Amino acid sequence: MSSVIQVQNLSKRYRIGLKEQRYDTFAQQLLATIKAPIQNFRQLRSMSKFGEDDESVFWALKDINFEVQQGEVLGIIGHNGAGKSTLLKILSRITEPTSGEVRIKGRIAALLEVGTGFHQDLTGRENIYMNGTILGMRKKEIDQKLDEIIDFSGVEKYVDTPVKFYSSGMKVRLGFAVAAHLEPEILLIDEVLAVGDIEFQRKCLGKMESLSQGHGRTLLFVSHNMAAIQSICQKTVVLSKGAIVYHGDIIEGVNIYNGIFSRKDEQSFYKDEAIFINESIDEQGVTEVESKDAFSIKMKIQNLPRSKYNFYLIFIDVAGNMVVHERIDNFQVSGNSTTIHFRIPVLWLRPGLYSYYFKLLSSELSVAKDRLLSETYTLRVTGEVDAPKLLGMLTPVIPYEIE
């Protein structure tokens, strides 16, 4: 396999608006109003120019390095403002990097929005051509695929109606239908799958997947939806504040993301002193359980600074939802090392990945800041699941009798 994208020391800088000055007196305000055009001109000109790093400069990406192999499906995850969209915008040439370099092999297409260039007054058919050519397709190409696209969109009946009479769902379908028929060698997709109904989303992903499967196409996929990321990506890049915090295997990446995510505004205060030893994980840091079984988690905690805590055990699913939030009040610490053994009953969790961590809050001082957090561990739930139970968070076997 060869790399099709190489990103080297990539940085992107933006200028953010500075706070406007306020004036107290009428005279000051008057003077400022007269001087406003000059001020405005300076500010507008500076939008595209950068001097020294001042407080209005914001680095959306800083020194990013990574490579993508041909045929790879790479998920890009991170919080809002982590730089995901900026990265895609640079890769798709919408904006130029401030420094660094990207090398690309092959035809690249980006899907940052569905239905770009749609015009309200044009018909569905005309908008297919408009949108298709904007995305880089040739007219001939669209001619050939037109029937397929219309069929895929499911708006056959209205294809010669101006799109302003469409429902928003129909517009999205039409936009997707065009996008799904793009055939680039590299496809960049921003979080566009969140729109459209379930059935249609499934259809689109299926179509894109079959494209990438048949022709070794490369796919870069940005999403906040860990379930979607996990199901289509093999590798992931985790971005945080414009830097890559992790690049590699998807499970570890999602775990790290959830770690940052769930504890974003929580901080551990005695991390250096206290030591958490999880005795229920394998060498990869994973606890593996069968969905229909009870299991146990054994935790050894050393060097606790206080003697009485409220002890929390928290399970989080891939989407960041809290699944279990168990609290033990007045957990008594005895000696230097305490072991706590959780005997977790059958939870019937849907097979998949979860993460969990421990939190200790001192119950002596009711100060919220006085908290201790463990690492985040992975919980891999295995098991078969019947199709009818696919949608549930839990997949219990429910006995029944007919009376």
Partner 1 sequence: MNVDSCPLNVNHYSLSNYVIQRTTNNKQPLNYDLFSIMHTPNEQLTTDNKQRPANEHTPPSAVGGLVSGGQWDQILKPSRGWQVVDWRELYRYRDLLYFLVLRGIKAKYAQSVLGVGWAIIQPLFTTLVFTVVFGNLAGISSDGVPYIIFSFAAMVPWNYFSGTLTEASNSLVANANMITKVYFPRIVLPLSAAFSKLLDFAIGMVVMVGFMVYYGFVPGWEILVLPLLILILLLCSLGLGMILSAMAVQYRDVKHAIAFMVQLLMYAAPVVYPASKVPDNYLFWYSLNPMVGVIEGFRSALLGTHPMPWDMVGIGAAVSIVLFVFGTFYFRKMEKVFADVA
- Asked if 173 contacts 129 with a C-beta cutoff of 8 angstroms, the reply is no
> Which tokens hold the place of 147?
């029937």
Nearer to partner 1, 223 or 362 (CB): 223
Nearer to partner 1, 51 or 335 (CB): 51
Least separation in angstroms between CB 81 and partner 1: 10
| Helical segments of 92-238, H only | 124-134, 139-153, 168-180, 198-215, 226-232
Please, which of residues 288-317 interact with partner 1 by CB under 8 A? 317
Distance CA 254, CA 147 (A): 39
Please, which of residues 32-51 interact with partner 1 by CB under 8 A? 44-45, 47-48
Q: Which of 144, 382, 394, 397 binds partner 1 (CB under 8 A)?
A: 382
Q: Which of 59, 66, 270, 276 binds partner 1 (CB under 8 A)?
A: 66
Parallel/antiparallel/unpaired status of strands 308-317 and 322-332: antiparallel
Nearer to partner 1, 5 or 304 (CB): 5
Least separation in angstroms between CB 380 and partner 1: 8
Distance CA 14, CA 77 (A): 21
Q: How many helices (H) and strands (E) does the chain have?
A: 8, 18
Q: Which of 129, 269, 276, 295 binds partner 1 (CB under 8 A)?
A: 129
HSE-up of residue 287 (Cα within 13 Å, Cβ side): 21
Residues 312-341, one symbol each (x = binds partner 1 by CB under 8 A, - = not), give -----xxxxxx-------------------
Residues 243-262, one symbol each (x = binds partner 1 by CB under 8 A, - = not), give -x-xxxxxxx--------xx
Q: Rounded to 5 degrees, what angle do the CA atoms 187, 188, 193 make? A: 105
Q: Is 94 a binder of partner 1 (CB under 8 A)?
A: yes
Least separation in angstroms between CB 72 and partner 1: 8
Distance CA 280, CA 195 (A): 40
Q: Is 67 a binder of partner 1 (CB under 8 A)?
A: yes
Q: Is 105 a binder of partner 1 (CB under 8 A)?
A: yes
Q: Is 136 a binder of partner 1 (CB under 8 A)?
A: yes
**258 - beta bridge partners?**
none
Residues 6+ apart with CB under 8 A from 79: 240, 260, 261, 264
Please, which of residues 187-246 interact with partner 1 by CB under 8 A? 193-194, 198, 201-202, 205-206, 209-210, 212-213, 224-228, 230-232, 234-235, 244, 246
Tokens 């305000």 label which residue?
A: 29
Q: Is 104 a binder of partner 1 (CB under 8 A)?
A: yes
Distance CA 271, CA 370 (A): 11
